[in-house]
Amino acid sequence: MTANTRPGPALPGLVFARLRWQTLRNASRIVLGQSIRPLTILLCSLVVWVFVFVVSYVGFRFLQQQGFELAGGVVGLLFELLFASLAALLILSSGLILYSSLFNSSETAFLLSLPVSTDQVFAFKYQGAIAFSSWAFVLLGSPILIAFGLTDAAPWYFYALLPLYFLGFILIPGSLGALFCLLVVNLVPQHRKQLLILAIVVATVPAAWLTYRTMASMQHESLSRDGVERLLSRFKALESPLLASHWVAWGLRSAARGDQGPVELGRSFYYLGLVWSNGLIAYVLTAWLARRLYRRGFNRLTTGGTLRKRYGGHWLDGVVDRLLFFIDPQTRLLIVKDFRTFRRDPAQWAQVLLFGSLMTFYFLNIRRLFVREISTGYQNGISLLNLSATALLLCTYTGRFIYPMLSLEGRKFWVLGLLPLRRERLMWGKFIFSTLGALVIAEGLVLVSDLMLEMPPEAVVLHVLAVAVLAAGLSGLSVGLGACMPNFRETDPSKIAVGFGGTLNLVVGLLFLLVILGLMVVPWHAFAMASEEVALAPALAVSVVGAGVGLGLVIGAAAVAIPLHYGARNLRQMEF
């Protein structure tokens, strides 16, 4: 090499791969430097994995006792139903995540200004979205399939082929979600939210109706071989050889029976090749379309198709403004501003809508899961479990969406600083917005659960009161800690939520949740279940439950007052 020779430019793919590696390494160093958050994530994931594994193992053992061949048609249909459901969720989640990362990220705008092709930017964002959206698929699917392999005594290569099937399968729904996102932004940039809502309705209503009919028929079917086969016959349409879920189900069944001969093992590799070839074709086709549609869609979405960006949905802001007539005008305007920001971000409201709809559907059909009447013990246990699940959803909602809100005001705080209002009023506006939103979601879920379970009136009142305390306390913690430990240099709310302050808020919120449920709810359920076996004095139960409720109200008030007080003091002392 001569002195005037310079190395040529690096390939864009290698540059993005190095960027991905550097980002992953830096994020891992930050996460591992926080001793609390990795342990919390690992513990929660382990609990979910073990729970799904135990339930799946018991279910496969039950099918085995009923005379079903685990590698036969019935279990294969169950696998096809499992992968079809996971594929539908992956299409929705990958589309939402890609929409946020491709079109609502400042990093994307910077990458599109570089001298690299558009499909390289798309591929970089696509890989991150698929990795983020598929972890739940692995967390839920792997324990079911491992339990199946252990029950059926599958050979060792069955477990070796599992990750290969997983990786190949997620390419297909991930590419479909990305393709749907690109088409929506390019074809209907002005009505993308309406089209997204329509797609969710079209996808969920038939599935909800089919699930409802199935649960209704469970009340008239016995848990026998013939009854199970009649129930599963409703899903025969999923056995189409054109569906990717069919390929995965048959491939894994063949791998489990591979020790019966080379034909089954060869069929397993055939289906594996079918999954990977179609997944790679779907990805290449999506990347080819992204080269032609991505930048065009980004420009149309930025300008709204015209020189003026139009959002729509002003009538929703008017409805919220009228419903909050009892709040002073300044605070009401701040609440409407936060509500407008929330409704304009599909990545936020779609997650709340999705999880809330799934839990509502489960609560509405909870009685149909039982062939006979529910005993008092099961009734109390299920209602307490549903309340705990709702409380966890509430804790996640406030930690993910509410805690970063004040930090996101940093770059535009000079606009708010010109308004004739005190800084702490910003905190109170966000606190009221969070509390009211949490009350609407959580109280509705708890009421539906208790009414479907036919819980006693005193239990319903107790649950409603506990949810109100949790909504106010978790909102106060998230807003107050967000003001005490803001991060004004970060514009990504997900990165703010996973920082040190967000991790501390999550841990404190979980502890507060456990304390409130343990004081205000658990004593009543304990006395209700104990009274079935021994006679207890009503005065003792009333005294213990009343003391727990009173102490819970005091702790809830402290969770609101203390963080907001220190957050307001820290906010007043800041200079922008």
Of 99, 128, 170, nearest to 16 (Cα)?
128
Per-residue tokens: 514: 């456990």
Higher pLDDT, 210 or 450: 450
Q: The tokens of 271 are what? A: 């289906």
Rounded to two decimals, what is the model's pTM?
Answer: 0.62
- Please tell me the predicted confidence (pLDDT) of residue 306: 46
Model pLDDT for residues 279-326, shown as the tens digit of each residue: 899 999 998 988 888 888 888 777 655 434 444 567 777 777 777 777
Lowest mean pLDDT of 52-66, 147-161, 354-368, name the range.
Answer: 354-368
Q: How far apart are CA 112 and CA 107, in angstroms?
A: 9
Tell whether the model's pLDDT for residue 205 goes beyond 80: no
Give buried/exposed letters for 512-539 (b at 16+ CB in 10 A, else e): bbebbbebbbbbbbebbbeeeeeeeeee
pLDDT confidence bin for 555, thresholds 50/70/90:
very high
Q: What average pLDDT does the segment 509-519 reach? A: 89
DSSP string, 39-66: HHHHHHHHHHHHHHHHHHHHHHHHHHHT
**Where residue 7 falls among pLDDT bands split at 50, 70, 90?**
very low
C-beta of residue 390 within 8 angstroms of C-beta of residue 445:
yes
Rounded Cα distance between 522 and 338, Å, is 35
Quote the Cα angle for 136-139-145, to 5°: 125
Tokens 């013990």 map to which residue? 377
Q: Is 145 helix (H, G, I), strand (E, B) or coil?
A: helix
**The pair of three-digit structure tokens given for residue 414, joined into one six-digit string:** 């000079």
pLDDT digits (tens, 9 = 90+) for 94-151: 777 787 778 777 777 788 887 878 888 888 888 887 877 777 677 777 888 888 888 8
Query: Quick one: pLDDT at residue 312?
Result: 53
Could you tell me which of 441, 438, 431, 440 has the C-alpha nearest to residue 403?
431
- Could you tell me which residues come within 8 angstroms of residue 150 by beta carbon, excluding any fewer than 6 positions away? 57
Phi, psi of 485 (to 5 degrees): -130, 65
Tell me, what's the pLDDT at 554?
Answer: 93
- Over residues 372-384, the mean pLDDT reads 70
Check: CB of residue 415 under 8 Å from CB of residue 463.
no
Residues 364-389: what's their mean pLDDT?
68
